[in-house]
Amino acid sequence: MSVHPIRRVLSTVTIAAVAALALGGCAGSSSTPADGSKVDSSPLKIYATAVPQGDVLKQVQKLADEDGSGLKLEVTTSATESVDPNAQLVGGDFDANFYQHQPYFNSWVAKHPDTDLVNKATVLVNVFGLYSEKHSDASDLPDGATVLVPNEQTNLPRALFLLQDLGLLKLNVASADGSAAALGVSEQSIVDNPKHLNLVATASVQRAKSLPDVDASFVNGDIALSNGINPNDALKLESADDNPYANVLTTTAGKADDPRIKLLTEYLTGDEIATFIKDTYQGFVQPSQKVLGN
């Protein structure tokens, strides 16, 4: 038995966290209220990651304009390292946000238990994959291979379970089923590391930039897309089906019943948006749509 600890590295490269837990098949394809009425035209202020979430919201606005539903979105896609979009949502700077998956959301809420944020829908999965520029198959990874893994607990289990699926690690948890045990998997969960993999915890953007310098690296779908990486070149991709990391639309409890939020949820879980995601993102991003909390 051999267990190799994950080394931590510091990086000045940061990225807004992305994130979601519940998911399922496509919800209904209706884009306008069932009674055909229009919503208040005052804009919904939304923070979103630029790609793919910001692009998806642009497509929602296009559909809303075509439908004449009255839905107006005011989307902010830039944030500094010191800005917390969830804190801004609680503070009233935004009406909703669309940038995080459910495990990240759960982690944030656990640290801020007095807040009243709720998720209205899962929408998409940034498909997580293991990539290499040096090896064409995971079985080719040499003894002691350096593999970059996430430096944040909300994504580390994704990497460790993919390595387990490839037979490169053994964990004390069998399945990435979205359970608390699965989402809590860490370096301490490794019970066997037969190839003595050198797992180096690294920030998300740097994991893509460093691909030429290491044996393999885990890269999120949206970041792979922006760095010209082909999903067909992955040594291993996670499945979008029943994936606990679907990205969510988040708002406050006080705005959960706002007709504009409800209409936005209908668009985001509709067939038109599913088709847009499939056609636009080359397999790096997949629809994972389900209405939550209704």
Please, what are the domains in the chain?
7-15+129-237 (3.40.190.10), 44-126+243-291 (3.40.190.10)
Tell me the pLDDT of the chain (294 aa) as tens digits.
445 555 544 333 332 333 332 333 333 444 445 445 577 779 999 999 999 999 999 999 999 999 999 999 999 997 666 689 999 999 999 999 999 999 999 989 999 999 999 999 999 999 999 999 999 999 999 999 999 999 998 899 999 999 999 999 999 998 777 777 888 899 999 999 999 999 999 998 899 999 999 999 999 988 888 888 988 899 999 988 888 899 999 999 999 999 999 999 999 999 999 999 999 998 889 999 999 985
Q: What gap in Å lies between CA 222 and CA 23, rounded to an integer?
A: 19
Sign for the pseudo-dihedral over CA of 208, 200, 152, 25:
positive
What is residue 226's predicted lDDT score, i.e. its pLDDT? 83
- Asked if residue 118 lies in contact with residue 201, where contact means CB atoms within 8 angstroms, the answer is no
Structural tokens at position 24: 């399922």
Distance CA 92, CA 96 (A): 9
pLDDT at 275: 98
Q: What is the DSSP letter of 284?
A: S
Q: How many residues does the chain have?
A: 294
Specify the pLDDT at position 13.
31
Say what the pLDDT of residue 154 is: 85
